[in-house]
Amino acid sequence: MHDLVIRDIGHLVLEPGSELSGAWLAVSSGRVAAVGVSGTEPHAQQTISVGGRIVTPGLINTHHHIYQNLTRSYGPVVNGSLFDWLTGLYPIWAGLDEEAVYVSTYVGLAELLLGGCTTSTDHLYVHPRPKLIDAQICAARDIGFRFYPTRGSMSLSTKDGGLPPDSVTQDCDTILADSRRLIDTYHDPAPGAMTRIALAPCSPFSVDETLMRQTAELSENTGVRMHSHLAEDRDEHAYCLERYGRTPVEHFEELGWAGDRSWVAHFIHPSDDEARRLAAAGVGVAHCPSSNMLIGAGTARVAELRRSGAAVGLGCDGSASTDHASLWLEARTALLLGRFAGGPTAMTARDALEIATVGSARCLGWDDELGRLTPGSVADLVAWHLDPVSLAGALTDPVEALLRCGPARAWTTVVDGRVLVDAGELRLRGLPEALADHRRIATRMQSAFVN
């Protein structure tokens, strides 16, 4: 007998190129055990009907700054450039402590679940106090969410010629020691892991060369992956040319990061040759379409990157460059932005869905288990709810309808075989208290800076 059967699936997306209409899916021990056509369902300890809805693999978030939901839509910086809003928010983020990080992570992961996300990375690079990533992992475990936090860092403060103030930076030895501690304590390379760790010095304008080189060495020695912002902004390009005498991508390559254990966020401003070189080296790209549009500094050339063989995944990014955490909305925005930039054949709904699932899993080096619903894959899935009025007339292609119609949100979200969203409602007992705490903490952190 199976643990769970999802029945009455109107359309099931198993993986790119494999779909089934009128289906069921069985789960055992956190894995997809079997799929079949409606009317042949096996017995299970729990059975859920999704009422003819479309079911897809859970979406995977490859770039986020969850703690920034404490400064969501922060008025003084919402219309600034990247550097403007960073310098405006650094002093507020210096108030982060373990409670603030736990609560913001709990609320952020709850929001991701409603948007169909079942695995998320996070890039916490502000460390005014110790053990903030421990607090994130605690929140993810309390929920039962598959979590891939990155040990972000900043070592170049304003006194060293960097952008952030001293209050949110650390020295290289402290960063590397904590990176080793987190790997030893939490990183689980085993199949079906619920927690993995990556290393993530923040950006060329906030991290020194020694930290970047020694992080690459630590990655080589431990096998953990590496993540950073790269080629995100023209100010970053100018900064690298002035400080290092080379472009951000050349800097990245010089410091030993151009390999298949790395994925980068944004990647908007490489030259054609730089983009080809990193794709050939196996570097993945986290595409953050809403952030790109809100900051207005350009967007990744996703179609070209995918044609070159690069792994391209999807990312939310954080406030105030993206003030939501719906990967459905990010996938839809990737569809629209891709077509706006490249024409009607440049991006289909299936392309956008593949980026959000298999492409994201490739970025994380985890596409053997995540991003698909074939037997043996982890049982991370979402059944999508669109109002019948929104779907009226959409009769021929449920995958295109999923992203063209809408808005959509999760009706059922399953992570590791556990139902965390049921009938459109989160099944998290601690959520009301977390929301109350979140409002209290956000008010405290912002009140000192807003008249």
> Would you call 302 helix, strand, or coil by DSSP?
helix
Q: Beta-carbon neighbour count of residue 54 at 10 Å?
A: 24
362 and 353 Cβ atoms separated by less than 8 Å:
no
For every residue of 72-120, DSSP letters joined together read TT-GGGTTS-HHHHHHHHHHHHTT--HHHHHHHHHHHHHHHHHTTEEEE
With a cut of 60, say whether residue 446 has pLDDT above it: yes
With a cut of 70, say whether residue 32 has pLDDT above it: yes
380 and 27 Cβ atoms separated by less than 8 Å:
no
Sequence-ordered alpha helix ranges (H) in 364-430? 388-391, 398-404
Residue 271: beta bridge partners?
none
Return the residue matching tokens 């669109």: 386
Measured between alpha carbons, how far is 293 from 450 in angstroms, rounded to an integer? 26
Q: Distances from the Cα of 153 to the Cαs of 157, 163, 237, 238, in angstroms?
A: 11, 13, 20, 22
Class of residue 38 by CB neighbours under 10 A (exposed 0-12, middle 13-18, buried 19+) = middle
Sign of CA dihedral 426, 428, 432, 435: negative
| Percentage of the chain lying above the pLDDT 90 cut | 91
With a cut of 90, say whether residue 84 has pLDDT above it: no
Domain boundaries, the chain: 59-102+117-363
Q: What is the mean pLDDT of the chain?
A: 96
100 and 352 Cβ atoms separated by less than 8 Å:
no
How much is the average pLDDT of 239-244?
94
Q: Which fold has domain 59-102+117-363?
A: TIM Barrel (3.20.20)
The pLDDT score that the predictor gives to residue 81 is 83
| Percentage of the chain lying above the pLDDT 70 cut | 100
With a cut of 90, say whether residue 441 has pLDDT above it: yes
Place 448 in a pLDDT band, splitting at 50, 70 and 90: confident
With a cut of 70, say whether residue 71 has pLDDT above it: yes
With a cut of 90, say whether residue 261 has pLDDT above it: yes
With a cut of 90, say whether residue 399 has pLDDT above it: yes
Summarised one tens digit per residue, pLDDT across range 267-324 is 999 999 999 999 999 999 999 999 999 888 899 999 999 999 999 999 999 987 789 9
With a cut of 80, say whether residue 334 has pLDDT above it: yes
With a cut of 90, say whether residue 97 has pLDDT above it: yes
Q: Beta-carbon neighbour count of residue 446 at 10 Å?
A: 16
Sign of CA dihedral 396, 399, 403, 406: positive
How much is the average pLDDT of 119-133?
97
Measured between alpha carbons, how far is 118 from 249 in angstroms, rounded to an integer? 31
Which residues lie closer than 8 Å to 438 by C-beta, 6 or more apart?
69, 70, 103, 104, 107
Measured between alpha carbons, how far is 112 from 326 in angstroms, rounded to an integer? 6
Measured between alpha carbons, how far is 409 from 374 in angstroms, rounded to an integer? 23
Summarised one tens digit per residue, pLDDT across range 197-240 is 999 999 998 999 999 999 999 999 999 999 999 999 898 999 99
Place 83 in a pLDDT band, splitting at 50, 70 and 90: confident
How much is the average pLDDT of 350-366?
98
The pLDDT score that the predictor gives to residue 451 is 57
